[in-house]
Every structure is written in C-alpha cells, then in structure tokens.
Structure 1
Amino acid sequence: MSRLTAQMSGDGGQWRLYVVLYGESEWPTVRFESGPVPTGADRREALAYLGYEVVPGAEWAWIEDSQKPFDDSTPVVLIASVDVREQEGATA
C-alpha cells in the first residue's frame, strides 16, 4: 500500500476534502456543506467513503493561505493535510 496525502480546504463556506493522486486529472473528493470545520470523525468517514484511511500515527497539519496569492488583505483559506493510504480490501 502506498502512502498518499489527503487535503481539506475551506474559506468559511463549503469545505472540500480530497486525496492527491499525482498524474491524475481528477482526484477523489467529498464536499461538506458550509458550517464549522468538519470533525475528525467527519473526515474519517469521508476518507472511508473514498476508500482511504489515515496512516496510523499521522495527524492533520493546518496552514493558512489567502484567496489571492501574496495578498494578505483577501479572505483566509485554511488547508489541512494528512498522510493516508488505501483501505485494506478497498478496490481503487
């Protein structure tokens, strides 16, 4: 099983969780309705729906960016990432 990266991003509206698949034009994605940051359980369920799981011992890391690169007067975009792997027995 190879290790991959899942990321989640949001700007105060809808949240999007996706698994980065290099060389692919479309990545497995789940969208959350607007509201608070999805909980750890919400993210785990979304990853399982996509056929992935957090690598044991891995933790979500958060950074912030701005909607327009290098313009800190624009709204903040939060981006989280974590190492994931395909779920055992998953067909991807």
Structure 2
Amino acid sequence: MALLPEARMVLDVSGTWKLFVLTGYEPREWPVHGFHRAEPVPTVPEREAALAALGYEVRGGAEWKWDATTGRRRRMFAKIPVRPVAGRSAVTSSGGAA
C-alpha cells in the first residue's frame, strides 16, 4: 500500500475529471479539485497546479501512474505520492483550511 498522502485523479460520476488527496481521514475531508471537463485529460502541469492550490506537491520526483479499479466496471485513475507544501495549510473540499 502506498504511503499517504496520495493524490488521485479520476473521471467522476458527473463525467468530469476530479483530483483529490487521500489523507487518511474521512473521504469527505479529502482536499479536492474539479477540472470541470471530460476531455482533454488534464495535463501533468494542470495536475501540479491543482495540487499546489490544495497545498500539496509531488513527493521526491515521483511520476503519475495509471491504474484501474477491480470488478466488472473497471475505472481508470491516475495516482502519485504527494506531501504538504511547507508553510501552507492544506485546503479541504469545503474550501477551508485543514
């Protein structure tokens, strides 16, 4: 299992890309950023900018990896290990500081 925090980008049930940071707390508390589009897939610089806005950065030169959920309805997602940006509070999905 990957160390937390970990960022994941998924195609949301709404049909648009969403990036969220798994922090080990309740999912409703995970920092989240919506890209509000299905295509094109958000670029790496767009993902990094979204992470920065949420108060995170990629951990130690890691690269985005694509994976899929298990089961009959497999869903693709991208993941990468991240860490909080020093001196910044992470932003939760509700927009407040964590």
What TM bracket, shorter-length normalisation?
0.7 to 0.9
Higher Rg of the two aligned structures: 1
Q: 2:32 aligns with which of 29, 34, 39?
A: 29
Moved over 6 A (4+): none
Tell me what 2:96 maps to.
none
2:7 corresponds to 1:6: yes
**C-alpha separation between the residues in 2 aligned to 1:23 and 1:57?**
25
Structure-1-length-normalised TM-score: 0.78
Sequence identity percentage:
42
Aligned-pair distance for 1:33? 1.7
The structure where strand makes up a greater share of residues is 1
- Report Cα offsets for 1:63-87 as digits up to 9, x if no partner: 123xxx622xx5x522111000001
What is the Cα deviation at residue 61 of structure 1?
Answer: 0.7
Matched, 1:43 2:47: yes
Contact residue 4 and residue 23 of structure 2 kept, 8 A: no
8 A contact 2:21–2:32 mirrored in 1: yes
- What is the count of residue pairs matched by the alignment? 84
Q: Secondary structure at the match of 2:49?
A: helix
Instruction: Indicate the RMSD between aligned Cα atoms, in angstroms.
Output: 2.0
Distance in 1 between residues matched to 2:8 and 2:50, nearest whole Å: 12
The Cα of 1:3 is off from its aligned counterpart by 5.2
